[in-house]
Amino acid sequence: MKKKYQHIEILRFFSALMVVITHYIHFFNPFNKLSSLKIYKSFLEFDSSILPFYDLIEKVYRFGYVGVYFFWLISGFVLAHTYLNKERCQISFKKFFVNRFARLYPLHFLTLLLVFVLQFFLRIETNSHQIIGNEIYNGENNLESFLSHLFFISGWIKESKFSYNFPIWSVSIEIVIYFLFFLSIQYLVKLRLLLSSIIFIIFLLLEKNNINLFFISCGRYFFSGVFLFFLCNNIKNINYILFIALLLFISNFIGNFKYNIFFSSLILLAYYLDHNTTYRFKNFYSKLGNLTYGSYLLHIPLSLLIILFFSKFKLHENIFMTEYFFISYLFIIFIISHFSFKFFEDPIRTYLKKLFK
């Protein structure tokens, strides 16, 4: 069994990068309450003169939040690759969720504490928690919200979704889908394309009929990733996968743009490249993929720390508009994420898996 799909690893990296870039707006008003630079000209219309590289990455600033959906789809593909085979499909409930817990919870817990401490000092320094508590992120830091984060269910509760280290909402929702995936493993191994397509269609119909369940979108993207995994495994001629990828990609430019189809085309293209390329630096993609979770959870604490630093030392906010600060900010995030994975995430995951085996 192939250990990793390197090109899909780099897609994971870019899914997190999209979110980090779209959250760069947090350095401006109304997210940064100290800022006199208002990011919105009108409701959800950005002031292009404020954001660095706006002409180049306007779409990422505006729509980078869909990186969350992309990550859900990638997660479905990767977990299908990991568990939907004869060697791994007999995995126990305990082992499956220990694996998930060991990978996801430690950094979540650490960043929750970091944000709690930083927002405590920000409250003293600026009379605001910063970033949250506005018309876009209307969550509130209170005991109920803290407990929902602590128990990894913040995305399940509307009032807690945009509080503390709020990007974790998307991961907390995925936990519900992990339960469904685990319960389906034995049947997915047998029915493969049929069952994965049925589950995907069920989630799609629920969403189209405006059934208000918080995990529906996650389920749709996740099981479309599972379906794509089986599709790739069923097609023996790798060139057919490239053809389907290009067909799906082109179809996005007919009518409305369709994220699920667009992301699926990228997954298929990545799968094709993984099986049809041998260039040397491909292994570096895996290292970039390792930065995904760290960058996703660490960029809010870093932003809060920068806002606190600027307030404490009365630094001028215009630096946030500069391209060199933007590049430096991204660089710092991914450097921190590298050390986080190497010295915290990976070691503690290994330790917990041994502890609970």
CB neighbours of residue 5 within 10 Å:
25
Provide the strand spans (E) within 23-106.
40-42, 45-46
- Contacts of residue 50, defined as CB under 8 A and 6 or more positions apart, other chains included, come to 28, 37, 39, 321
Judged against a pLDDT cut of 90, whether residue 283 lies above it is answered with: no
Instruction: Yes or no: say if 170 and 72 are a contact pair by the CB < 8 Å rule.
Output: yes
Q: What's the mean pLDDT in 5-17? A: 92
Residue 112 belongs to what domain range? 6-355
Q: Domain for residue 258, yes or no?
A: yes
Q: Domain for residue 1, yes or no?
A: no
pLDDT of 2 reads: 57
pLDDT of 3 reads: 64
Q: Domain for residue 97, yes or no?
A: yes
Q: What is the pLDDT of residues 131-169, one digit of tens each?
A: 998 888 888 899 999 999 999 999 999 889 999 999 999
Q: What's the mean pLDDT in 274-294? A: 84
pLDDT of 54 reads: 93
Q: Domain for residue 144, yes or no?
A: yes
Q: What's the mean pLDDT in 7-23? A: 94
Q: What is the pLDDT of residues 193-209, one digit of tens each?
A: 999 999 999 999 999 88
Report the alpha-carbon distance of residue 298 to residue 59 in Å, rounded.
Answer: 23
Instruction: Of 1-15, 59-73, 149-163, 304-318, give the lowest mean pLDDT range.
Output: 1-15
Q: What is the mean pLDDT of the chain?
A: 92
Judged against a pLDDT cut of 90, whether residue 175 lies above it is answered with: yes
Q: What is the pLDDT of residues 324-337, one digit of tens each?
A: 999 999 999 999 99
What residues are paired with 29 via a beta bridge? 38
Helix (H, G, I), strand (E, B), or coil: what is residue 45?
Answer: strand
Q: What is the pLDDT of residues 40-96, one digit of tens each?
A: 987 778 988 999 999 999 999 999 999 999 999 999 999 999 999 877 778 889 999
Q: Domain for residue 318, yes or no?
A: yes
Backbone angles phi, psi at 188, to 5 degrees: -65, -35
pLDDT of 329 reads: 97
State what percent of residues in the chain have pLDDT above 90: 76
Between 41 and 107, the more confident residue is 107
Q: What is the reported pTM?
A: 0.94
Q: What's the mean pLDDT in 286-291? A: 90
Number of domains in the chain: 1
Helix (H, G, I), strand (E, B), or coil: what is residue 267?
Answer: helix
Helix (H, G, I), strand (E, B), or coil: what is residue 29?
Answer: strand
In 3D space, the residue among 333, 317, 301, 313 whose CA is nearest the CA of residue 33 turns out to be 317
Q: What's the mean pLDDT in 308-329? A: 94
Report the alpha-carbon distance of residue 292 to residue 337 in Å, rounded.
Answer: 8
Judged against a pLDDT cut of 80, whether residue 346 lies above it is answered with: yes
